[in-house]
Structure 1
């Protein structure tokens, strides 16, 4: 159940309890008032009947002397010489008795049914039921309205928080939910915005430190590369050159990751025939890869950045996969698949992370290739997803890039 319906159910339950309690109070008060009124009237009638009987010996108001049906409770009062009234329930409703001693040991009594008056309670109960239903429905409607407004604000806040988590630093939760009123939702929004600002400042500081370190390493690396070219031929010299090239690639990758994290990169978009582009670029990036164009499509993209994404996906498949590498172009989709052990569960669950290569089966590298590919795809406005092919289909890792047409 959503917050709207929980709040509505709570208001409806409280409203029902309140109206039931009030209805019982009103019903009992009306019943007691009606019975007391009938007893007062009956008491006055029996006194009038006694005066007339004592004056001329006539019985009026259907009064009787020594009625055998007189309730025992009234006989006890009459024996004490006291006048009394009594309410008795019968199959036809309520009967109000009144008795008074008439002298000579006789008892004069009256009884009157109040069935008609008792029906008033039925009408009253019906009215109370209708009113209670109206109150419950009205309270539920108010709960739906109030809960709906709160639920919409919280849902907007959740969507804005997801965008912040996805890296959209320009989103603010308080602006997303609107600045109307100062309630708990507004306090939550301000707290989330403050947390997002603090995290953004910390990440920006870490990015600047990383970029500065990588930038400072470029100068000595350039000199080191030049120096390795002066080494005499031989196996030791070749090993040194290989390690220097790997270090230089690492520094360049770290700089690229820092630039992508800064969210300042902009794509130079052009119309590109995707199938033809992949068919021409893949042989240079991975000569052994098999390219299949199922459906051609024209997309808006930056060719340089798209080539970088393809190169990293192919390099990852060649380094960590096994068997042939298949590249499929199907409209705006590009799929790169190997036949190795597949992506590790952490990567599928959380996405690529720098300097984390996953399981030991996919060891090697620095974990920056897929991170850079994801960042470049974000700059292109594309969507890069990762999954593993089912074992029945041969298994392997599948990276899919969806480009905007």
Structure 2
């Protein structure tokens, strides 16, 4: 997969990750939402049931009081004596509202609330002699006990609803969170170059929801981008391939020109064009992920010393710790030379190469790498800021990074500043660090080919 596509998917994964922050709180948020709704519903229903039960009990109590006051009235009018329990004539504690109703000539009942939530049940009826008979009873203990038991049952039921809603929220949220995590992990794999991974297959399941729609959209987008990038890569490779013949002819024709300054200029530009065409072809091959590493066992310090000294004696080479590695010498040499060329072209001498175990460092003493390169990595046809531009087409570090991936190595870039110095302080140099793997190239998108028989150390 190309660097552009990997960068796109990194941004996509970052966007999904921002959504997937829900994964750390999704189940709890969903659980809290369901529990809150359940609690509100339970409280509302509890209030309705409590009030309905209380009203019903009070209505029954008033009906009973009304029946008793009728019996008390008949006994009083027949016997002339007041011999009914809780019944009185012209009771001074009779509520004023009830008294007004009775004085209107009709029998009535009344409920009076006392402090503490208790209720008094009043019933009154006008007598033939102009007096008022009233009956005063309280809300029975049995009714109070029934209401207390009902309230207790409603509280327990409400708690059960809240706990059940929370558990349901955790279950549903956990399932959705797992699907989102699987989708994010699969998208990360695609961003890392595993183009055969499909997000929809990764999340699995038989339930079809918005997560499936998102997964299908990501898969379709990945396929479309892959096809477009592959088409662009083929076009780039085809153009570079077609340019090789005329450029080679141009270089041959330039070599036949008579000696002189014009001939030197033509030859220089023709060679630069040939180098550019070859670099573009190499970038296209690296983007196609079809490159294979041919592995050999080499002594890294000795190899780097011989190759660098043969190419540029002015480069300082220091071997801190020798190490035997299994790698592709040709590709390692390509990475090493590109880093040295970049340091010599854009930095300032001395250029220093240090070998320590499986780590190779290439340092210059120039203005440092541009911030865009440090943040995003090498980008083709971008040579950096004006203070480090120099000549070139910006393909050297791109090729170095691509070849490092084929080797299974990691290539990093950083600037050297004094300890504790702020960012605006100029750099004291740039350093590129190549970290070779411990066990040959792996998980790079390439498939290294080991030689059929052991080979000797490469020749210098």
1:300–1:403 contact (8 Å) kept in structure 2: no
Evaluate the alpha carbon distance shift between residue 81 and residue 276 of structure 1 in structure 2; reply closer, same or farther with a 3 A threshold.
farther
- CA shift, 1:385, in A, is 2.3
Equivalent residue in structure 2 for 1:193, among 213, 216, 219: 219
Correspondence for 2:184 = 158
Work out the CA distance in 1 between the residues paired with 2:320 and 2:149: 78
| CA-CA distance at 1:262 after TM superposition | 0.9
What is residue 124 of structure 2 aligned with on the other side? Answer: 99
Partner of residue 390 from structure 1, selected from 417, 420, 444: 417
Q: Which residue of 2 aligns with 1:18?
A: 41
Which residue of the other structure, out of 70, 74, 78, is the alignment partner of 1:47? 70
How far has the Cα of 1:107 moved from its partner? 2.0
CA contact (8 A) 2:297 2:327 kept: yes
Distance in 1 (alpha carbons) for counterparts of 2:429 and 2:47? 72
Identify the residue that residue 435 of structure 2 maps to in structure 1: 402
The CA distance in 2 between the partners of 1:144 and 1:167, in whole Å, is 34
Q: CA deviation at 1:334?
A: 2.7
Does 2:304 match 1:284?
A: no
Per-residue deviation, 1:226: 3.0
Q: Distance in 2 between matches of 1:357 and 1:205?
A: 25
Return the TM-score normalized by structure 1.
Answer: 0.91
CA distance in 1 between partners of 2:322 and 2:128 (Å): 120
Which structure is richer in relative contact order (CA contacts within 8 A, separation 6 or more)? 2
Range that drifts further, 262-271 or 309-318: 262-271
Partners of 1:243 and 1:99 lie apart in 2 by: 120
Q: In the alignment, is the contact (CA less than 8 A) between 2:86 and 2:137 conserved in 1?
A: no
Give the corresponding residue for 1:377.
404
**Conserved 8 A contact 2:244-2:277:** yes
Shift in Å at residue 207 of structure 1?
1.0
Q: Which moved more, 1:324-333 or 1:99-108?
A: 324-333
Tell me if the contact between 1:45 and 1:61 (Cα under 8 Å) persists in the aligned partners. no
- How far apart, in 2, do the equivalents of 1:402 and 1:291 lie? 17
2:54 is equivalent to residue 31 of structure 1: yes
Number of residue pairs the alignment of both structures matches = 405
Question: Judging changes above 3 Å, is the alpha-carbon distance between structure 1 residues 99 and 276 closer, same or farther for their aligned structure 2 residues?
Answer: farther
Runs of at least 5 residues in structure 2 that lack an aligned partner in the other structure: 1-20, 422-426, 439-460
1:222 aligns with 2:222: no
Partner of 2:449: none
**Larger mean Cα displacement after TM superposition, 311-320 or 278-287:** 278-287
Q: Which of 110, 124, 130 is the matching residue for 1:86?
A: 110
d(CA) in 2 for partners of 1:165, 1:278: 33
State whether structure 2 residue 366 is matched by structure 1 residue 340: yes
Please give the secondary structure, in 1, of the residue aligned with 2:127.
Answer: strand
Listed as ranges, the gaps of 5+ residues in structure 1 are none
Deviates more, 1:197-206 or 1:394-403: 394-403
Alpha-carbon offset, residue 196 of structure 1 = 1.3
Aligned pairs (5 A) from 1:114-129: 114=139, 116=141, 117-129=143-155
**Equivalent residue number for residue 75 of structure 1:** 99
1:317 maps to which of 343, 364, 379: 343
CA contact 2:72–2:84 (8 Å) conserved in 1: yes
Counterparts in 2 of 1:72 and 1:223: CA distance versus 1, 3 Å: same
User: Deviation per CA, 1:224-283, whole angstroms, max 9, x where unpaired?
Assistant: 333344344333333322222211111110000010111111222344444443334333
| TM-score (structure 2 length as normaliser) | 0.81
Q: Does the 8 Å CA contact 1:286/1:314 hold for their aligned counterparts?
A: no
Select between 163-172 and 353-362 the one with higher mean Cα deviation: 163-172
